[in-house]
Chain A
Amino acid sequence: MRDGAPAIAAPGVSATARKIGRGEDARSRVIARTAFPFLVVAVIWEIVARLEFFPRRLFPPLEEIAAAFMRLTLSGVLPHHAFDTIVRLTAGFALAAVAGVAIGILMGRFRRAEDIFLPLVTIAAPIPGLAYAPLFLLWFGLGNVSAVLLVAFVSAFPVVFNTWTGVKAVKDIWVRSALAMGADNPRLFRHVIVPGALPYILTGLRLGLAQAWRVLVGIEMLAAVPWGLGWMIFGAREFLNTDVMLAGVVVIAMIGLALEKLVFEKLENYTVVRWGMMS
């Protein structure tokens, strides 16, 4: 423990330390097992880089990548890029989530809405998101608007499809029994349809977020936005700054992992598992 730590904090810290201590053996083994493959890959990378099969500029050893990472983080450049990317992702995905869930529920509940939207969605969905990028750039200009709109547009499809399936998959008997027990429309919607469709909606949101993430990196390279991780990687290529590019990829991987682990697993545990819809 650190010297000079406030006395009040000490009992809490030691309590957690004891709690960790119990499972320490198993946990450290898991950590070691997870770390081992990365270590092997790192060593191979280092050997290849040191032997200079490739020019050093193009295949930098790990410490150069780490140095670039530190330098860019300390100067605030990397956080700025990452921040802008996350803002764009959030804005685009929020649009997609709201519009997609709304359209999906309409499609699931009303025949007419299904007939109107389904053909349009079925035609537009199989086209890869980035193929729309040049059109969006022409229509909305270079920059943020195109990027956010494209991300929203592309990530809305999985949300719509899954919400629609989810609403249709709500068991008829639940709806009927709720109606028999005198539920009115808003209550039916809030207490039966939304919870019933939620596993599907969450799957849709998850797929949509993954889609948004993949498209966002691509569109940042194409749309000439001033900040953003995709742009950072693409711009660094001009100056052969492979270390900067790889540092960017590392940050992208970290954000992607964080989205998966922190956002979705938590959300799923909080709602679906707690309501007993999924084990």
Chain B
Amino acid sequence: MTRGGDRIRSYRRAIITIVLAALCYEAIARSGYFPAVLVPTLPKIGAALWHSLLDGTMLSHAGFTLYRVLFGFGLAIVAGVPLGIMMARYRPVQNFVLPLASALMPIPSLAWVPIFILWFGLGNTVAILVVFYAATFPILLNTWSGVRSVNPLWLRAAGAMGADENSLFWKVIIPGASPFIITGLRQAFLRAWIAVVGAEMIAASDFGLGWTIFDAKEFLNADVMIASLVVIGCIGFLFERLVFGSLEQATVMRWGMVKAART
């Protein structure tokens, strides 16, 4: 009961805070202390967002960005999960891949952008590869530690009950490692989302939300920039909550894995 009351009060305060912050911003924007082009008022930002949504430009930019990020992310899953499982199951694979992964991981994916541009030209390929690079390592390393952390008791129990290699893999190892794998996917998506925006800015392709922001800078369209920021934030938030949240609900929560993993 008190928890519910607390929550309502928190929501109310959150709304008050946001309204106050918006009012402060509006006051600064209207004070004329900063040039109006650099600090546009909220109605102007809203109008820019509304117009770009209505005439479809924002949606097509968002579509291009999503295409790039999902393509690269898909490739990263296809490469990262099997390799992570192999690393955990076979020692030589681990000995070979782990040093390479730990050397490549600290290189920010954006450092590769200029090199990829030279190798593959401007355009989609660069963005997709950069996303792939950014997303692979979290998936790989989390899958690896997930498979290694599968309780050996479960493996022996399943073996004693006559599970063959195949069903052992699908019924025990994959579900057992899934909390880690999903955490890896989450981290990977965050990184991929950062990488795609950066890659679009630097690799100056013609479409995409990152490009919109960067292009708007040239024309001092701060309202368009902030509107695109809002869209980028919303998409990231939706993915985090809806996609990964429901993925977690459908798998690890249903299997009762999360409790086991957290305690």
Contacts and interface: CB of A to CB of B under 8 A. Distances in A.
Contacts of A233: 111, 114-115
A38 B17 CA distance: 53
A274 B111 CA distance: 37
Contacts of B236: 126-128
Interface stretch (A12-20, A117-125, A169-177, A179-187): A117-125
Contact of B104 (A33, A135, A253): A253
A249 B202 CA distance: 16
Contact of B106 (A135, A215, A256): A256
B150 to A, nearest CB: 21
Interface string A191-217: 000000000000000000010011111
A222 interface: yes
B156 interface: no
Given A126-B240, A218-B108, A131 B197 contact: yes
A8 interface: no
A41 B103 CA distance: 12
B225 A58 contact: no
Interface stretch (B94-102, B246-254, B255-263): B94-102
A93 interface: no
A83 interface: no
B13 interface: yes
B111 A128 contact: no
Interface string A128-141: 11111111011100
Contacts of B50: none
A162 interface: no
Interface in A134-171: 134-135, 137-139
Interface stretch (B80-88, B172-180, B211-219): B211-219
Contacts of A115: 10, 13-14, 17
A121 to B, nearest CB: 11
Contacts of B95: 33, 36-37
Contact of A128 (B15, B102, B198): B198
Contacts of A35: 99
A240 interface: yes
Given A217-B108, A259-B106, A237 B114 contact: yes
Contacts of B21: 120
Nearest to B100: A37
A126 B113 contact: no
Contacts of B182: none
Contacts of B15: 119
A131 B14 contact: no
Contacts of B96: 36-37, 40
B237 A134 contact: no
Contacts of B115: 233, 237, 242, 245-246, 249
Interface string A223-239: 00000011001101100
A43 interface: no
A248 interface: yes
B118 interface: yes
Contact of B217 (A128, A137, A229): A137
B229 A131 contact: yes
A204 to B, nearest CB: 15
A118 B10 CA distance: 10
Contact of B109 (A129, A214, A253, A260): A214
Contacts of B103: 38, 253, 257
A237 B118 contact: yes
Interface string A92-132: 00000000000000000000000110111001101111111
A135 B119 contact: no
B23 interface: no
A77 interface: no
Q: Which of A216, A256, A259 has the most CB of B within 10 A?
A: A256
B97 to A, nearest CB: 7
Given A127-B236, A218-B198, A257-B103, A116 B117 contact: no
A127 B202 contact: no
21 contacts: A37-B100, A38-B99, A58-B118, A59-B119, A120-B18, A127-B232, A128-B236, A130-B198, A131-B232, A132-B229, A138-B217, A210-B106, A218-B110, A218-B202, A221-B202, A222-B201, A233-B115, A234-B114, A237-B114, A248-B111, A249-B112
Nearest 4 A/B pairs, CB to CB: A256-B106, A115-B13, A128-B194, A214-B108
Interface of A: 33-38, 40-41, 54, 58-59, 115-116, 118-120, 123-124, 126-135, 137-139, 210, 213-218, 221-222, 229-230, 233-234, 236-237, 240, 242, 245-246, 248-249, 252-253, 255-257, 259-260
